[in-house]
Amino acid sequence: MAQAMRPNTAGGLFATDGKSHPLQDAMLAVTLVLGITSFITAMFHHLHLLSSWTGLVGILTGAYGQWISVTTRERFGLVLGLGAAAVGFFLGMAHGGLFGGLLD
């Protein structure tokens, strides 16, 4: 039972391999912030520009984050952010799109 007494010496909150991953953690944070912003603003019809653009950028950063992710914890957070960004993007597109009302 010696392993039960060892302290957790992992490099970061999401680094389960003991190494730090600053780029992956940054992509995770950006994707989560964009996804939450897009999801919340998609609930308001007049904020469709914000929700569609933040959703689109959140999808792109989340996809790149998935590509470079190393640990399962990073991937889990990225999937949550990607899902929220996708829902916000699609609802924003349904409410007026990326340029709705600007090109009239």
Q: Which two tokens stand for residue 32?
A: 């989560």
- Is the separation of the CB atoms in 53 and 99 below 8 Å? no
Q: What pLDDT digit, counting tens, does each position of 41-65 carry? A: 999 989 999 999 999 999 999 999 9
pTM (predicted TM-score):
0.82
Considering the chain, what percentage of its residues have pLDDT values greater than 70? 81
Comparing 9-13, 48-52, 66-70, 95-99, the range with the smallest average pLDDT is 9-13
- The CA distance from 26 to 59, in Å, is 15
Is the distance from CB of 69 to CB of 23 less than 8 angstroms?
no
